[in-house]
Amino acid sequence: MLSTDEDLRAVPLGQTFTAEIPLGPNGGTVIRCYASTSPKSKLHGDAECKALRTTSTTADLELSLSAAVGRLCTRCRWPLPTDSPVLLLGAAIISVDSLKIWIDREPDPDGDIQAERDAVLALATGEYPPSATSQRSEGDGEDEAFDDEEWNRYARARDIRQNHFTHWRRLHSYLARSIEAVSEFPFLRPWAEPLQVRLAAVLDEERRAFAALLQPDSLREAAAVRLIQTPEFTPGPEFAGLGNEAARTFRRAWHEWNLQAAWSWHRLEEHDFAVDSVLRDAFGRRRKGRPEAEAAFERLAADWIAKAHSRAAQPDETPWQLIGVKAPALTRGHYTEPDRDPLTHWESAVLATYQVAFDHTAGTAALLVPQLIAGQLATAASSTMPVARLGTPANALPAEMLLSHWQPDETTPQP
């Protein structure tokens, strides 16, 4: 019999276990219920349930979970031992059931096709209005100074992309958690799979919308950053303001710029902030020699960008490659912290842009990518994100089939 209250947890079984859900061996778990004596009456976990008290005679029953589902009161909680297998199964069912939130939605009435199209056009030119960028370098602002409307247009476009990106990643996480639930309780599959198929369709729509707002050229250039040689510091009078910190500042600026440029979906020209902030740190409040150093670092960054551009422009030695990737779900934040995304922006953008097949039962994707991108994906591979080459270029099997044969949890041969 049940021992102390500490070993029990009150579980709203009627909210989770419905008649459509297969219970497998857990269906045999015995639960204690209270009911009125009429044959088809609701079953309650609490003898004091208000829905029960209206009848005069009650029965105290011990029933198997499978015999009880379909009649469980949705207001009651059942005291279950904390090690009851029903608790784990319930958590898995909730992981699958929550897919329904995302698949039965009406199309968003605020979804503005015109705004989406305009965002695609705007972001194809960069993150900010091109006029603003050229003004910044020419410095002859005068009356064409700030075009508010253009700035707002680009801000809107960036928002639209951000929303598609975060929604796509969130949907992917829900799917990934449901896949994990089914792998723990395989008898859930017949119920879960139709839901996963429908979620995968919504997920793919979101992926396409996000991908339309990305530039494959920028992803290729970012991948080229990894391959340019680490630059050597050449001392000169332009660095005098940094004193004996010059070489160290140079190395930090390169490191920060490299890290941001290589793992972002932005164009290489958008990362001057990385260099600026290293310089700001190094100078603190000092002014002496600062404009000269700033100008010198601007030239250095321009040189790094030019080198990466030229590396990206080199033709690949091998044809495009078919790569399998299993993207991780978002990491749940503690308490009020937001969820954290283990993927870098570059990785997310590559997954969205180059996907040619997706396996909704495994959560794996096949990407068809240029060699340069494949190389960087290989460096990003880890146990949280397995990456593998799916086939040789001579292999004529369809991507879906090659993907379905991939077992990402086993060894991952790198591309």
> What is the binding site for Zn ion (CB under 5 A)?
44, 49, 51, 73, 75-76
From residue 241, alpha-carbon distances to 70, 253, 255, 359 in Å are: 77, 16, 21, 57
Who's near 33: CB < 8 A, 6+ residues apart? Answer: 43, 44, 45, 60, 61, 62, 63, 68, 78
In the bound state with Zn ion, the residue whose beta carbon lies nearer, of 73 and 362, is 73
- Shortest reach from residue 50's CB to Zn ion, in Å: 7
- Shortest reach from residue 51's CB to Zn ion, in Å: 5
- Shortest reach from residue 26's CB to Zn ion, in Å: 21
In the bound state with Zn ion, the residue whose beta carbon lies nearer, of 75 and 156, is 75
Residues 387, 380: contact at Cβ < 8 Å? Answer: yes
Residues 169, 348: contact at Cβ < 8 Å? Answer: yes
In the bound state with Zn ion, the residue whose beta carbon lies nearer, of 8 and 259, is 8
Element (H, E) at 8: strand 8-11
- Shortest reach from residue 171's CB to Zn ion, in Å: 34
From residue 8, alpha-carbon distances to 74, 89, 413 in Å are: 19, 16, 46
Cα separation, 241 vs 243, in Å, equals 6
How far is C-alpha 93 from the geometric centre of its chain's CA atoms? 22
In the bound state with Zn ion, the residue whose beta carbon lies nearer, of 51 and 67, is 51
Name the E strands within 327-377. Answer: 355-359, 364-369
Classify strands 78-81 and 355-359 as parallel, antiparallel or unpaired: unpaired
Give the three-state DSSP class for 228: coil
Here the tokens at position 271 are 């990362």
- Shortest reach from residue 7's CB to Zn ion, in Å: 22
In the bound state with Zn ion, the residue whose beta carbon lies nearer, of 55 and 382, is 55
DSSP secondary-structure letter at 180?
H
Give the three-state DSSP class for 35: strand
> Which residue, among 294, 293, 302, 297, has the nearest Cα to 239 in the 3D structure?
293
> Which residue, among 389, 391, 394, has the nearest Cα to 377 in the 3D structure?
389
In the bound state with Zn ion, the residue whose beta carbon lies nearer, of 49 and 123, is 49
- Shortest reach from residue 40's CB to Zn ion, in Å: 15
- Shortest reach from residue 42's CB to Zn ion, in Å: 7
In the bound state with Zn ion, the residue whose beta carbon lies nearer, of 43 and 293, is 43
Element (H, E) at 78: strand 78-81
Classify strands 78-81 and 58-64 as parallel, antiparallel or unpaired: unpaired
In the bound state with Zn ion, the residue whose beta carbon lies nearer, of 44 and 271, is 44
> Which residue, among 252, 381, 258, has the nearest Cα to 324 in the 3D structure?
381
In the bound state with Zn ion, the residue whose beta carbon lies nearer, of 48 and 108, is 48
In the bound state with Zn ion, the residue whose beta carbon lies nearer, of 71 and 158, is 71
- Shortest reach from residue 38's CB to Zn ion, in Å: 15
- Shortest reach from residue 75's CB to Zn ion, in Å: 5
- Shortest reach from residue 63's CB to Zn ion, in Å: 15
Within 10 angstroms of residue 152's Cβ, the number of other Cβ atoms is 11
Residues 351, 411: contact at Cβ < 8 Å? Answer: no
Cα separation, 82 vs 8, in Å, equals 5
